[in-house]
A = this chain, B = another copy of it.
Amino acid sequence: MKHIKGELEQKGIKPTYQRLCILEYLHAHLVHPTVEGIYDELVDRVPTMSKTTVYNTLRLFSEKDVINEIRITGTEVRYDINCQSHHHFLCKKCGKIYDVDVTCPFANMEHKEVSGHEIQEVHGYFKGICKECLTKQNNEQKGR
């Protein structure tokens, strides 16, 4: 609880109650949650919490590099407390987003430029069927 307060202070963010709640939620839910998901759970614990505050806070965190925005599904932004450059996998069946560890020279920020353009951010993700959904599929086929 102390360290997450320090985390904000280090980045020059005043650690208000709402902000700490949201940050704590992000640390506890590493599944790349949406604004909706964050709000829905927090509003139970903190009934005064407003969705606008969630939006404001996530934008602030994003600007101050406390979190990363992930735009994969096209419909809504998801948030990742893990700010180290890493890639993602979106399952087309169940919609889950996984972290994946790939040996890509760009994932590790080894390059500063491509084709003369200066790289500041690297974004990589895959779409397909996740491990879990694959085994489900297999079991269904056997059952038949």
Q: Which residues of A line the B interface, CB within 8 A?
A: 69, 71-72, 74, 77, 87, 89, 91-92, 98, 100-106, 114-131, 134
**What residues on B are CB-neighbors of A98 within 8 Å?**
115, 117
Establish whether residues B117 and A121, one from each chain, have CB atoms under 8 Å apart when the complex forms: no
> What residues of B have a CB within 8 angstroms of the CB of A106 in the complex?
102, 104, 124, 126
Copies of this protein in the complex: 2
Known: A100-B115, A102-B114, A106-B104. A128 touches B134 (CB 8 A): no
| Cross-chain contact A128 with B117 (CB below 8 angstroms) | yes
* Least CB distance, A47 to chain B, in whole angstroms: 31
A120 touches B127 (CB 8 A): yes
20 A–B pairs (Cβ distance < 8 Å), ordered by A: A69-B74, A89-B115, A100-B115, A101-B115, A102-B114, A103-B105, A104-B105, A116-B130, A116-B134, A117-B128, A117-B129, A117-B130, A117-B131, A120-B126, A121-B128, A122-B126, A123-B123, A123-B124, A123-B126, A124-B124
